[in-house]
Chain A
Amino acid sequence: MSSDIVGPLERASEREKAERRSLRAFAIESLGPVTILGGIVWAIFQPYRIVFLDHAGKGFYDYLVQPPLLVIGVGLLFSLVIAPGLLDDLRTAYGSES
């Protein structure tokens, strides 16, 4: 087959793979920050849910479970522990395919 045809086809397929990888990488990168943002927005709308800001009459369990902070904590956990490894592996997998 003529290299005039194969070359552009291969480049198009590589472009497609790179786009797919970057879309997936973007989604993985976004999951944690979006979750954290959700917690921050909640804290702004309902600051009384954060006991550190409004601690009158609150007990031990209220300090332990502060929902906006839990959401932020889950987002941080995902961003710092799970997402970096997944992004590395995504790069490795798509790098080895192309």
Chain B
Amino acid sequence: MAPRAELVHWFFAAGFLLLGLILLAETIVGREVFAMRPWRMYLWPSIAFAIGVLLWPVSVFFTNSTLHMLAHASWAEVAMLAGAVQLALVRGKLTSRWWTLSLSVTLLVSAAAFLIHEQNPWLFSRAAFLHHAIGWTLVVAAIFPLGQVLQSRRFVWGAGFAMTWVVVAVMLFCDRDVAPIFGHLSAFAGGSR
């Protein structure tokens, strides 16, 4: 009854794409204009939090292994943490700008989960390749929230953080359970021996 893994990846990709577009819009117009309607400030933290909540059923129903369950559960936890911290910042319950670093923690934990739970090498299959690629993308992207803390008005940090989610969405949309990458598919994954 459970959907195929690739369908779940595509569903979450749509969420990340929306997240990326909203963040990109905030970066383009600037925080002052974006905050002119208060509901807009709650948008992306709410989406991040919702993604975290929705990752729990994934961690329960897609338990191919303990490692998968731990990876999905850790994503769920850090996505909820990032969303909650941002909601608290918008609401004024938290005031220190250093809380933005929780996004770097989220990205690094997510990256570690991607890289550790993908036990196959890069060219094993398309899914394996993309898990490695997403993991390393998130490692690099962890620099953007740090930049936002230190130089909050620099366009590059906000744009980089927003584009990270667009890129992750594109990679998740390319994800397929078993499919060749660059014409290569491991014999163990079902390719020709």
- Could you tell me the distance in whole angstroms from the C-beta of A44 to the nearest C-beta in chain B? 15
Query: Which residues of the other chain, B, contact A71 by a CB distance below 8 angstroms?
Result: 14, 17, 173
The verdict on A62 contacting B7 (CB below 8 Å), with A78-B21, A83-B25 known, is yes
Within the assembled complex, what's the spacing in Å between the Cα atoms of A64 and B32? 38
User: What does the 1/0 interface line of B18-30 toward A look like (CB < 8 Å)?
Assistant: 1001101100110
A82: B residues at CB distance < 8 A: 21-22, 25, 40, 43
**Which A residues are CB-close (under 8 A) to B24?**
31
The complex places the Cα of A35 from the Cα of B29 at a distance, in Å, of 18
Q: Are A35 and B25 in contact (CB under 8 A)?
A: no
Q: In the complex, are the beta carbons of A86 and B21 less than 8 A apart?
A: no
B25 contacts A90, C-beta separation under 8 Å: no
Q: How large is the interface on A (under 10, 10 to 19, 20 to 34, 35 or more residues)?
A: 20 to 34
Q: Can you name 12 extra interface pairs (CB under 8 A) apart from A82-B22, A89-B33? A: A24-B29, A61-B7, A64-B7, A65-B7, A65-B10, A67-B13, A71-B173, A74-B17, A78-B21, A82-B40, A85-B40, A86-B25
Task: Tell which of A27, A31, A62, A93 touches B33, judged by Cβ atoms closer than 8 Å.
Answer: A93
Say yes or no: is A77 at the interface (Cβ < 8 Å to chain B). yes
A40: CB under 8 A from chain B?
Answer: no
Interface size, chain B (Cβ < 8 Å): 23
Quick one: given A61-B3, A67-B13, A82-B40, are A90 and B18 in contact (CB under 8 Å)?
no
Q: Which residues of A contact B (CB under 8 A)?
A: 24, 27-28, 31-32, 35, 61-62, 64-65, 67, 70-71, 73-74, 77-78, 82-83, 85-86, 89-90, 92-93
How far apart are the CA atoms of A67 and B29 in the complex, in Å? 29
Nearest opposing residue in chain B for A73, CB measure = B14
Query: Across the interface, which residues of A come within 8 angstroms of B7, CB to CB?
Result: 61-62, 64-65
Question: Which residues does chain B contribute within 8 Å of A93, judged by CB atoms?
Answer: 32-33, 36
Q: Tell me what chain B mostly uses at the interface: helix, strand, loop, or mixed.
A: helix
Most buried by A among B18, B24, B32: B18
Kindly state the separation between the CA atoms of A67 and B13 in the bound complex, as whole angstroms: 9
Across-interface contacts of A89 in B (CB, < 8 A): 29, 33-34, 36-37
- CB neighbours (8 Å) of B11 from chain A are 65, 70
Determine which of A32, A64, A86 lies in contact with B29 in the assembled complex, contact meaning CB atoms within 8 Å: A86
Closest Cβ–Cβ distance, residue A58 to chain B (whole Å):
11
Of B13, B22, B28, B40, which is within 8 A of A70 by CB?
B13
What chain B residues lie within 8 Å of A32 (beta carbons)? 21
Residues of A within 8 A of B34 (CB): 86, 89
